[in-house]
Amino acid sequence: MDELCYRVSEEGDLPDLLRLWEEAGWGRLAPRQWREWFVDGPQGPSLITVAVDAAGEVVALEVFAAARLSVAGREVRALRCSAPILRPDLRGQSLRRAAHPAWGLYRAAAAVAAEHGFEVGYSLPYHAWLPILRNAHRFGLPRFAITAFGCAELPLEPASEPASERFARGVETRPVASFGAEHEALWHAARESFPIACGVVRDAAWLSFRNSGRIALEVRDREGGLVGYSATTRQTGLLADLLARRPEELTAVVAATARWLAGERRPGEPGDLTHLKAMRTPALDPALLALGFTPVDYRFGFICNTYGDAAGDESWRARMAPERWYVMPGD
């Protein structure tokens, strides 16, 4: 195979990017939709890197979506890495080779991230990638801090006195009409009460953008105060996003979500959700155990790293340790 050249994507690459997207099995994407997702997002344009062959054809791409993080009370710009998209003939190469296109795409992004104003990178890769990513610095990539989270599920079935009914007493659940200032205030309250040492900033624009197409619910107390919200992926029943104003109220928010989803079930119909699934993070696990979630055979990977001057700052790296993050699958 000819040697590939790696660079940041340019405007003229769009036809090739759309072609690769469709070849990867994600469906046909209109230029307008591409722009909405990856150029005009609420945190600014994504950083997209491409691999170009000797004939000048774009044969691989990787999207690094822009985000804002709160780290020890300071907001910084971050990049969330998604899985690389490769032309079919490139997919069979070993990931244990420095020349693999996935590493070339990542190196190209890391080389320019700091000059674009990004200090942190993070991702939720497939768990099977983690052993390779632990040694990725040998391929010229940053040193990643790495962890894994389990998965658990709760059947969405009626019962005489399910835990979700007990813990959801005294709260009302309804679909989110729109994310706004009240949800931003919830984020600020949670950041202080948990406290959230490191986490994606959940402002209204980000919440609307990331949770579009999900089942977004808000949970309120008897006085109408916003206790928390959830966003569940329709296709899988996975809690993609969840937050409560205080950690002890996470149980009520999860319970209220399960109760509402169970009440909306249409057994036997397409798209019927049979279980609510959740990533077992340290923040969320006590609520899942209280509600009777049971472990399932699935693991979520999580990695993070720093760019530029921060990469050599050990105190900064310590603040970014995975165990300090409040993280959800949709982040």
Q: Is the domain of 184 the same as that of 291?
A: yes
Task: Return the higher-pLDDT residue of 273 and 167.
Answer: 273
Domain count, the chain: 2
95 in any annotated domain:
yes
What percentage of the chain has pLDDT greater than the value 90?
Answer: 76
Q: Is the domain of 112 the same as that of 240?
A: no
Domain finish residue from 67, 99, 118 = 118
The string of DSSP letters for 267-331 reads: TTSTT---EEEEEE-TTTHHHHHHTT-EEEEEEEEEEEEE-GGGGG-HHHHHHT-GGGEE--TT-
Q: 173-191 pLDDT, tens per residue?
A: 999 999 999 999 999 999 9
Residues contacting 157, CB < 8 A, separation 6+: 262
The pair of three-digit structure tokens given for residue 247, joined into one six-digit string: 């950690």
Domain that holds residue 291: 151-298
Q: Is the domain of 193 the same as that of 293?
A: yes
Instruction: Tell me the CATH number at 33.
Output: 3.40.630.30
- With vertex at residue 149, the alpha carbon angle to CA 279 and CA 159, rounded to the nearest 5 degrees, is 35
128 in any annotated domain:
no
Domain finish residue from 118, 137, 159 = 118
Q: Would you say 50 and 61 are in contact if contact means Cβ atoms under 8 Å apart?
A: yes
205 in any annotated domain:
yes
Q: Is the domain of 90 the same as that of 185?
A: no
What is the distance between the alpha carbons of residues 28 and 120, in angstroms, rounded to a whole number?
A: 31
Q: 291-325 pLDDT, tens per residue?
A: 999 999 999 999 999 987 666 677 777 778 899 99
Strand stretches in the chain, DSSP E: 5-8, 47-52, 58-71, 74-81, 85-86, 120-123, 145-155, 172-175, 198-200, 215-220, 226-232, 239-244, 275-280, 294-306, 325-326
Q: 95-124 pLDDT, tens per residue?
A: 788 889 999 999 999 999 999 999 999 999
Q: Is the domain of 89 the same as that of 181?
A: no
Q: Is the domain of 59 the same as that of 165?
A: no
47 in any annotated domain:
yes
Q: Is the domain of 91 the same as that of 9?
A: yes
Q: Is the domain of 234 the same as that of 294?
A: yes
Q: Is the domain of 112 the same as that of 214?
A: no
| pLDDT value for 143 | 86
14 in any annotated domain:
yes
Residues 11-25: what's their mean pLDDT? 92
Q: Is the domain of 191 the same as that of 86?
A: no
Domain finish residue from 93, 118, 143 = 118
325 in any annotated domain:
no
Q: 195-223 pLDDT, tens per residue?
A: 999 999 999 999 999 999 999 999 999 99
* DSSP character at residue 160: S
262 in any annotated domain:
yes
Q: Is the domain of 81 the same as that of 174?
A: no
Give the residue ranges of DSSP H helices in 114-213: 130-133, 163-167, 181-193, 204-210
328 in any annotated domain:
no
Q: Is the domain of 65 the same as that of 10?
A: yes
